[in-house]
Amino acid sequence: MKTVHSHVLVCAGAGCVASGAHAVIAALEESLRKHNLNKEVELVSTGCLGPCAIGPVAVVYPDGVFYQGLKPEDAEEIVSEHLLKGRPVSRLNFKVTATAQIIPALQEINFFQQQQKIVLRNCGVIDPTNIEEYIARDGYQALAKVLTEMTPEEVTDTVKKSGLRGRGGAGFLTGLKWEFTRKAPGDKKYVLCNADEGDPGAFMDRSVLEGDPHSVIEAMIIAGYGIGSDQGYVYVRAEYPLAVDRLQNALNQAREMGLLGNNIMGTKFNFDLEIRMGSGAFVCGEETALMRSIEGKRGEPRPRPPFPAIQGLWEKPSLLNNVETYANIPVIFNKGAEWYASIGTEKSKGTKVFALAGAVNNTGLVEVPVGTPLGEIIYDIGGGIPNNKKFKAAQIGGPSGGCIPREHLNVPVDYETLTELGAIMGSGGLIVMDEDTCMVDMARFFLDFVQDESCGKCVPCRVGTKRMLEIVSRICEGKGEEGDVEKLIALGQQIKDTALCGLGQTAPNPVLSTIRHFREEYDIHIREKRCPAGVCPALVRAPCMSACPANVYIPGFVSLVSEKRYAEALRVHRDSNPFASVCARVCFHTCEDKCRRSNLDDAVAIRGIKRFMVEQEVTIQLPEMRENEANAKRKVAIIGGGPAGLTCAYFLARLGYQPKVFESAPRPGGMLVQCIPAYRMPREELAREIRMIERMGVEIETNKSLGKDFTLQELRDDGYEAVFLAVGAPAGAKLRIANEDAQGVYDSIEFLREYNLRGSAAIGKKVVVIGGGNAAVDAARTAVRLGAESVTILYRRTRDEMPAYKEEIEEAENEGVIIKTLVAPQEIVSKSGKVAGVRCNHMWLGDFDSSGRRRPQVREDGDSFVEPADQVIAAVGQSLDTKSVLGDLPVKTKLNGFVASDALYGRTSLDWLFAGGDTADGPSSVAEAIGAGERAAVGIDLYLTGEEHAFWRETFDVDTEFDPDADPSDTPRAEMKLLPEERRVHNFNEVEMAYTESVAVREARRCLRCDFRSCGTEKSASH
């Protein structure tokens, strides 16, 4: 017997083969020969290891070092360094995407560590083309036991006791199916295996057949004995040539060894197996259609009953299970039904293999106990969502399944729970979707798939799904109508009730489940003709624009900047957003998050370009205004001089109104002036844009507070015909812990307002800020500037989850702010009524909460500690006292206490009252407030005149040069320069510095011009 000191296992599953595994194996062979290692090192081509996206992959044993993304040229280094000198090649090891940490050992990689492999037990371990390797790992032992020690009844009973459920989708109890078939009268019976894996993205069955074909063969022989059959068929799709090949090879080997054919293992039992290839019709995964196809007929389902257990293939009793179900069987007999039943949940036993795909860092094949929470699969095994995007939903069960939104990341993935949530286990396709997925578009995709794959036999599936597809498609095209969603629900339910087979009955699921969990997205498509995810082409002029709450024509102004046409660029910007200078400084720039250029290198620095653009403005220009005597006479009041109110005033003024703004503070600007520090938002810049609005005929009266100085009813009595309520969310939320009223405890709004409006605020020496949002960071950096000796931010989750802008957090730290994460205040420690510190608990992240983030929980093992402080600033949220602003008016409010208003026009339940900005939405961004102000202006005009006159909404093009065929510029993203720390920590000078002209123009040229539609394209599209 030859002795080898190392094994190199290279994955030869279809995924790795596609990415070049064969060449890698050849190169390894070559190198081993070259170094004379070919006798000591055994090179094995194995089945799928799982992480297909990073293939070809390999493992070197005995050390268990995992290599990924191998190329033939890496072979020499692995052989000479690792195998010869024992030094693993770290550049080829697994890297954690988020932290870039390198993990050499397979067993320590989360992806593998958290899996439990029963079905995939041999995949990636043995050479699937060698029956002896299977036998060496207990292969065919279960068969021997069954044939020599068990009666057929005991066989089916064992499967029943194991609790195994069909892994093909519906989850019917496998043992029960076996028993039915065993008991069915008839002397000829068939054992069938469904390997017609058709769900987009699913490949577990393929991997089992490629990596461990004997496990299926052994199981089918056991099944044959159990039900009394002597003939079986494996129905494999012809698109799986490697699987067919390996299975055929395995069948031949088994037959040679006497494991198939007559008198198996010397007993009287006869059984043989044949492969039948399907031509890739999705419906042939449906059991009755599959049997028709094996018979050589058109694969179409027939009604049940009779069930296949009674009348199946050629009208004979037939047992059909899928590959994954069979792969469990030998283990159940080897380790016992009780052992198997100990894994999983009460009603769903064993493990399930998932094909993890989509927006997740580690894609591939994973096997976990049934009932593992979805969040664990996605975050612990899958490594989370790439590019720090937010998890939106997971589509489970393929085109017949449904989506699970982030509120349910905690749910155990088992048959019952998924069904309750409107999804199904299906064959185990698990597609992770991030915020960039449009759920309507996703539903359209799956519906299109099933519509195409419908066999066309029954009316609901053939015509019904087509009608659903037409409705969903028109919603995506911006042609949706009120009532479309109701139609989809009604028709979808009808199809579920009336379709002939499982395919039709589940075809509406993606639509129904997205409506159930993401109804709002449908409504936005239909009512606002907007695709929030920026996906639907007809609704998205450019992804950046669709992401901009104010709908600024971004490629327009950016391309004008690239041609140094700054005044025109500004006009384009102010056409939909008056606060160009404000937004150049404080905007969340959701536009950049959606910039398509980020697929190439980095997003275009839209805010940076804007900042340079506004710097070029010498004298402020007024936008296009349309005088209107009738409008000028009508009285419109705007309450709140923040971005929402002022924007509303701006657009009303453009329509010829002369609205009046009432502001409670001494200066207009709302949060922009009261909370956002001057080092981010220079006061003169804000004042300049407010003066522009005043010059347009808007009167602003300050120190006029709603609820104190006047009421809404008084405004009405005073002849105001319409009122826009935009008072923000001016109150800070309470910490709700002991001693919160101690002296020295502030809320951040209070603290920032005091400094920003009065010019001074009391400041402690040891300042502790509680919270992780922008208000917290603003308070902390303001405290630094006001001379605090130490400023500490306490946040209960991790830094990654802090809602504040990343760059703000970084600059805060650069300025000396200490950020402590995973700590939560337990109580304020006070000494004689004065704050002395904050008692904190150490936290850990437990299960997932409804926001899709892990819930911070108090660590049982860590002691609490006291963070010393003489000033505590709480920045844990904002609220609105609706009672004080609305008085007794019967205006509807939302559950979270803010005013209810519609998304299109900001209409409240009172026809003359409109609301927007934080007042309606709760704390949100400046750009959101600007968008809400614009919509309210349109709504008020519509209310007063009965028509919409929003001329600025009409689409226009810019006449800048653009060559769609030219390669995009290869300049990297330009970062904005910052004032050095030492020159900013003691003052409120603006930190960010504008680009120079050459940098700005170069940056602007990076834009890919997604808005560009050439006439030629449209023409050719109509052909």
Partner 1 sequence: MPTLTIDNVTVEVPQGATVLEAAKKAGIKIPTLCYLEDVQAIGACRVCMVEIEGARTLMASCVTPAGEGMKVHTNSKKAREGRRTVVELLLSDHSGDCQTCDRNNDCELQALAHDLGIHDVTYPGEKSAPHMDASTPALIRDTGKCVLCRRCVTVCNETQGVGGIFPQGRGFSTVVGPAFTHDLDDVVCVQCGQCAAVCPVGAIVERDQVQDVWAALDDPTKTVVVQTAPAIRAALGECFGLEPGTLVTGRMVTALRRLGFHAVFDTNFAADLTIMEEGTELLTRLKKALVNKEPVALPMTTSCSPGWIKFIEYFYPELLPNVSTCKSPQQMFGAVAKTYYAQKIGKKPEDMVVVSVMPCTAKKYEAQRPEMNDSGAQDVDIVLTTRELGKMIQEAGIDFVNLPDGVQDSPMGMSSGAADIFANTGGVMEAALRTAWEIVTGTELPFENLHVTPVEGLEGIKEASATFTGCKPEWSFLEGVTAKVAVAHGLGNARKLMDKVRAGEADYHFIEIMTCPGGCIGGGGQPRMTTNAIRKKRIEAIYKEDEGKKMRKSHENPEIVQIYKEFLGEPLGEMSHKLLHTKYTPRLKA
- The contact set with partner 1 (CB under 8 A) reads 281, 283, 298, 300, 302-303, 305, 451-460, 462-467, 470-471, 487, 491, 494, 496-500, 505
Q: Of 317 and 556, which CB lies nearer to partner 1 in the complex structure?
A: 317
Least gap, CB of 408 to partner 1 (angstroms): 24
Q: Of 472 and 786, which CB lies nearer to partner 1 in the complex structure?
A: 472
Contact 207, 51 (CB under 8 A): no
Q: Token digits for 3?
A: 């002795």
**Residues 6 or more apart in contact with residue 1017 via CB below 8 angstroms:** none
Question: What is the β-pairing status of strands 6-11 and 58-61?
Answer: antiparallel
Q: Token digits for 442?
A: 């996703």
Q: Of 128 and 169, which CB lies nearer to partner 1 in the complex structure?
A: 169
Q: Of 474 and 799, which CB lies nearer to partner 1 in the complex structure?
A: 474
Give the count of alpha carbons within 13 A of 183, CB side only. Answer: 10
Q: Of 303 and 946, which CB lies nearer to partner 1 in the complex structure?
A: 303
Rounded distance between C-alpha atoms, residue 459 and residue 467, angstroms: 11
Least gap, CB of 522 to partner 1 (angstroms): 17
Least gap, CB of 465 to partner 1 (angstroms): 8
> Which DSSP category does 48 fall into?
-
Rounded distance between C-alpha atoms, residue 331 and residue 117, angstroms: 11
Rounded distance between C-alpha atoms, residue 1002 and residue 1005, angstroms: 5
**Residues 6 or more apart in contact with residue 947 via CB below 8 angstroms:** 941
Closest CA to 156 of 186, 181, 187: 181
Least gap, CB of 487 to partner 1 (angstroms): 7
Q: Token digits for 376?
A: 């664990």
To which H or E segment does residue 503 belong?
Answer: helix 502-506
Least gap, CB of 129 to partner 1 (angstroms): 36
**Residues 6 or more apart in contact with residue 29 via CB below 8 angstroms:** 38, 43
Least gap, CB of 281 to partner 1 (angstroms): 7
Least gap, CB of 467 to partner 1 (angstroms): 4
Per-residue burial over 296-316, b if 16 or more Cβ lie within 10 Å, else e, is eeebbbeeeeebbbbbbbeeb
Neighbours of 579 (CB within 10 A): 30
Q: Of 483 and 897, which CB lies nearer to partner 1 in the complex structure?
A: 483
Closest CA to 367 of 124, 567, 723, 533: 124
Least gap, CB of 636 to partner 1 (angstroms): 43
Least gap, CB of 483 to partner 1 (angstroms): 10
Q: Of 296 and 1016, which CB lies nearer to partner 1 in the complex structure?
A: 296
Rounded distance between C-alpha atoms, residue 71 and residue 73, angstroms: 5
Least gap, CB of 305 to partner 1 (angstroms): 6
Q: Of 302 and 688, which CB lies nearer to partner 1 in the complex structure?
A: 302
Using CB atoms within 10 Å of the CB of residue 657, give its burial: 0 to 12 exposed, 13 to 18 middle, 19+ buried. buried
Least gap, CB of 453 to partner 1 (angstroms): 6
Least gap, CB of 496 to partner 1 (angstroms): 7
Q: Of 460 and 669, which CB lies nearer to partner 1 in the complex structure?
A: 460
Q: Of 281 and 763, which CB lies nearer to partner 1 in the complex structure?
A: 281
Q: Please confirm whether the linkage preceding 62 is cis (ω < 30° from 0).
A: yes
Contact 210, 181 (CB under 8 A): no
Least gap, CB of 488 to partner 1 (angstroms): 10
Q: Of 306 and 803, which CB lies nearer to partner 1 in the complex structure?
A: 306
**Residues 6 or more apart in contact with residue 169 via CB below 8 angstroms:** 397, 400, 424, 425, 426, 427, 502
Q: Of 227 and 458, which CB lies nearer to partner 1 in the complex structure?
A: 458
Rounded distance between C-alpha atoms, residue 231 and residue 936, angstroms: 73
Least gap, CB of 529 to partner 1 (angstroms): 21
Q: Is the dihedral of CA 18, 19, 20, 25 positive or negative?
A: negative
Q: Where are the beta strands (DSSP E) in 773-833?
A: 790-795, 818-821, 823-831
Q: Of 302 and 704, which CB lies nearer to partner 1 in the complex structure?
A: 302
Least gap, CB of 482 to partner 1 (angstroms): 15
Least gap, CB of 278 to partner 1 (angstroms): 14
Q: Of 300 and 918, which CB lies nearer to partner 1 in the complex structure?
A: 300
Contact 739, 837 (CB under 8 A): no
Q: Of 511 and 603, which CB lies nearer to partner 1 in the complex structure?
A: 511
Phi then psi for residue 691, to 5 deg, are -60, -40
| Coarse DSSP helix, strand, coil percentages of the chain, rounded to the nearest 5 percent | 40, 15, 40
Closest CA to 768 of 753, 748, 754: 748
Least gap, CB of 540 to partner 1 (angstroms): 25
Phi then psi for residue 514, to 5 deg, are -70, -35
**What is the separation, in whole angstroms, between the first and last Cα of the chain?**
71
Q: Of 458 and 874, which CB lies nearer to partner 1 in the complex structure?
A: 458
Q: Of 346 and 452, which CB lies nearer to partner 1 in the complex structure?
A: 452
Phi then psi for residue 496, to 5 deg, are -60, -40
Would you say how long the chain is, in residues?
A: 1023
Q: Of 161 and 474, which CB lies nearer to partner 1 in the complex structure?
A: 474
Question: What is the β-pairing status of strands 351-358 and 429-434?
Answer: parallel
Helix spans in 577-700 (H): 580-586, 590-593, 606-615, 629-633, 643-654, 671-674, 683-695
Least gap, CB of 179 to partner 1 (angstroms): 21
Rounded distance between C-alpha atoms, residue 756 and residue 750, angstroms: 10
Contact 319, 190 (CB under 8 A): yes
Rounded distance between C-alpha atoms, residue 131 and residue 125, angstroms: 13
